[in-house]
Amino acid sequence: MEKVRVVGTSRKVMGSKSAKEARNAGLVPCVIYGQEGTEHFTTDPKQLKSLIYTPDFKTVDLVLDGKSKSAIIKDIQFHPVMGNVLHVDFLELTPGVAVKVDIPLSSKGISEGVKLGGKLLQQLRKIRVKVTPENLVDRLYVDVTSLELGQSARVRDVEVTDDMIVMNPAATPVVMVETPRALR
């Protein structure tokens, strides 16, 4: 799994006024929630680009005042008009403590229905799982090789490890092979 290093500076003064001052200085106010409590800090928005603007799931190696913490992004707030990052919430990863995360989903194999002229449609892009930090993966897969025309793979067909608990309903369609109009 890919880790992105983010360096931050602790904030001593909290509140909307200090957050606005940080934004005016070109920084992004952030907070990390962990076992010991919350910690407020600011960081450069350039460090967050490879973490936010990607479909991949990545963990964060967060360096605050010389101390390193492992974390994931929990929430991001964007400006409604400009689209720039206003605030980021991180969740500290504690070994042995399960977290709920959205992991990207990919299909593997070539469907029999696609070979006959069907179209593979992915209905769900991410799967929510509850897992400990030691068992985090960057991507989940669903095997589509046995899908015929008009069939679909469901959440229960996604390949997960024994340590993961899938939070999505098991009957939700993930991938389906659509029959094209010409074959109907």
Q: pLDDT digits over 42-75, tens only? A: 999 999 998 999 888 999 999 998 899 999 999 9
Cα 177 to Cα 134: distance, rounded to the nearest angstrom:
35
pLDDT, mean of residues 99-119: 92
Is the pLDDT reported for residue 183 higher than 80? no
pLDDT for position 14: 87
Burial 15-39 (b: 16+ CB within 10 A, else e): eeeebeebbeeebbbbbbeeeeeeb
CA distance 135 to 64: 25
Quick one: average pLDDT of 136-159?
Answer: 92
Q: Which residues fall within 8 angstroms of residue 133, CB to CB, at 6 or more apart?
A: 70, 93, 94, 95, 97, 99
For 140, other C-beta atoms within 10 Å of its C-beta total 20
pLDDT at 182 over 90: no
Nearest to 152 by CA among 182, 118, 102: 118
Q: Distance between CA 105 and CA 144 in Å, rounded?
A: 12
Residue 95 has pLDDT above 80, yes or no: yes
